[in-house]
Amino acid sequence: MNKKKSIYLDNAATTPVDSAVFKKMQPYFFEQYGNPSSVYSLGERANYAVENAREQVADFLNCSSNEIYFTGSASESDNWIIYGLLSNRKKKIHIITSIIEHKAILEPCRNLKEKGLAEITYLPINESGLIEINSLEKAIKKNTALVSIMYANSEIGTVQPIEEIGALIKKINSKRKEKIIFHTDAVQAVNYLNCDVQKLSIDSLSLSGHKIYGPKGIGALYLRNGISINPLIRGGGQERKMRSGTENTPGIIGLGEAIKKVEQSKSKNQSIKKLRNKLITGILKDIPNSQLNGSLEKRLPNNAHISFDGAEGESIVMELSQRNIFVSTGSACASNSLSPSSVLIALGLSREQSHCSIRFTLGRQTTSSDIDFVLKVLPGIISRLRKISGR
């Protein structure tokens, strides 16, 4: 019996490892398995490969390779910039972030606030899912040490004005003795947006391998030279004594190769956006009482986040799954939570509407026939679920 084709539309949660990336990684599991810290040739070859991957990440971000630190995930990178900065400051610091950040930023901020170690300002968003530059400027205080704003939201895909924020902070810093560090979680942005840290005036940036067709369990933190933070993980002193632990050599190689291929694949972004628009237009046309959440213009080209009044999100996911179509509700990193999406609540949706929302995120492998099939089966699914709920 032929296996039915899967239609994977949850690329914001994770992406399949690119075959060329996997091929590049393979030798470092077997033939080139040396510890990069070892002084003999097997270790030296592994170290050379790690440093080559560091150069690949640096080239992509337009920075120096000594400003790149490999981590176990973007969540670790996000935690590191917050806790590492705090542990290096003698006075209570002020952090500005947005209400719709990833939990890897929100949870450390909540933890520090509860312990009275930092003052936190959470910027609101407008009806399009964007922060207002003037609200950020008004929030800055004398003890503001960090501004952390996610480049592109992992749930609704809205793209924040990172270049404008960078320019604002750079201007403010020119008149300050104690500089504000500008950090962005660029996990969702790397595949689609300009991540030149010089152009954007970014001081620190987090990214992840498994969102860009690389392996899971590997991330990176860009930290501009001259910025001082303390290590989050202490031990053997790897990563120039900043992040201890034996390097995940295959993962690092995979991240380097994956980020190199991002530039080669950007020509496909327009076709992905075209398919995304086809999906949005088809859903809004054929399914009454459905709405797109967040700005259409200032949005990642692969993201369509839609609410279906009267149809419970988890039920939609399960119905689509039975047809080998894979999507998600809310934020993928917390999709097992029954709590309403904080992002959608911040956007102005009710708790009920947030539970009736689906995130479709396309990828390099998505085809026009995939979208046709989704548009064929989805109206019937929504209609049936609404009848069950009495809507």
Q: Any idea what the Cα angle at residue 296 is, between residues 270 and 324, rounded to 5°?
A: 70
Same domain, 307 and 166: no
Same domain, 199 and 329: no
* Residue from 337, 333, 347 nearest 154 by CA: 333
Catalytic-labelled residue, pool 63, 109, 333, 356: 333
- Summarised one tens digit per residue, pLDDT across range 207-235 is 999 999 999 999 999 999 999 999 999 99
Asked whether residue 305 is assigned to any structural domain, the reply reads: yes
Q: Which two tokens stand for residue 104?
A: 């890897």
The whole domain housing 339 covers 7-16+266-389
Same domain, 225 and 341: no
Query: Helix, strand or coil for residue 181?
Result: strand
pLDDT score recorded for residue 126? 95
pLDDT score recorded for residue 4? 74
- Summarised one tens digit per residue, pLDDT across range 267-319 is 889 999 999 999 999 999 999 999 999 999 999 999 999 999 999 999 999 99
Same domain, 239 and 302: no
pLDDT score recorded for residue 3? 59
Read off the CATH number of the domain in which 326 is found: 3.90.1150.10
Rounded to 5 degrees, what are φ and ψ at 91? -100, 160
- The rounded distance, in Å, linking the Cα atoms of 149 and 101 is 7
Scored b (16 or more CB within 10 A) or e, 221-247 reads: bbbbeebebebbeeeeebbeebbeeeb
Residue where one domain finishes, among candidates 240, 264, 288: 264
Same domain, 252 and 301: no
Read off the CATH number of the domain in which 34 is found: 3.40.640.10
Asked whether residue 233 is assigned to any structural domain, the reply reads: yes
> In a structure prediction context, what are the per-residue pLDDT tens digits for the chain, which is 391 residues long?
345 789 999 999 999 999 999 999 999 999 999 999 999 999 999 999 999 999 999 999 999 999 999 999 999 999 999 999 998 888 899 999 999 999 999 999 999 999 999 999 999 999 999 999 999 999 999 999 999 999 999 999 999 999 999 999 999 999 999 999 999 999 999 999 999 999 999 999 999 999 999 999 999 999 999 999 999 999 999 999 999 999 999 999 999 999 999 988 888 899 999 999 999 999 999 999 999 999 999 999 999 999 999 999 999 999 999 999 999 996 445 445 567 888 999 999 988 889 999 999 999 999 999 999 999 999 999 999 999 987 6
Same domain, 330 and 365: yes
Q: Can 333 be counted among the known catalytic residues?
A: yes
pTM of the model: 0.95
Asked whether residue 2 is assigned to any structural domain, the reply reads: no
pLDDT score recorded for residue 24? 98
Same domain, 230 and 108: yes
pLDDT score recorded for residue 262? 96
Same domain, 326 and 292: yes
- The rounded distance, in Å, linking the Cα atoms of 186 and 220 is 11
In which element (H, E) is residue 223 found? strand 219-223
Residue where one domain finishes, among candidates 224, 240, 264: 264
Q: What CA–CA distances, in Å, run from 367 to 9, 19, 101, 248, 382?
A: 11, 18, 31, 34, 23
Query: Helix, strand or coil for residue 140?
Result: coil
Quickly list DSSP for 309-341.
TTS-HHHHHHHHHTTTEE-BSS-GGGTT--SPP
Asked whether residue 1 is assigned to any structural domain, the reply reads: no
